[in-house]
Amino acid sequence: MPIKAAIERAIEECIEEDILKTYLRKHRSEVLGSLLTDFDMKAYKEAVYEDGYDTGYGAGAKNDHEKSIDNLAKYIQSNNPGLSWDDAVSKAESILSVEAKQ
């Protein structure tokens, strides 16, 4: 269904269901025009894609950083018998923090 027909149908259904009935009867053409000019499906899809990409990228970067800490902590602990896991993680975080600043 074309967007204009869908909006007209939605307006008509709102009027029939007594949702903003008086307002829609008085300002029907203004509401229709506003919705037709304000909503851009392409821009909407691009915004949703960019938001999803940013969210996924941030989660991936965090996950990669956590994996790096975990792997380095395992290496540190394997080369330092008796070192606690928490101490190995602290050393790994410290090493990765220094490398990130450089």
Contacts of 93 (CB under 8 A, 6+ apart): 69
In the three-class reduction of DSSP (H, G, I as helix; E, B as strand; rest coil), residue 18 is classed as coil
Parse the chain into domains and list their residue ranges: 3-38, 41-101
What is the token pair recorded at 102? 């450089």
Alpha carbon distance 33, 72 (integer Å): 59
For residue range 17-68, what is the model confidence (pLDDT) as tens digits?
999 999 999 999 988 888 887 666 677 677 667 776 666 666 666 667 788 8
* Residue 42: both structure tokens together: 């392409």
Expressed in angstroms, the distance from the first to the final Cα of the chain is: 56
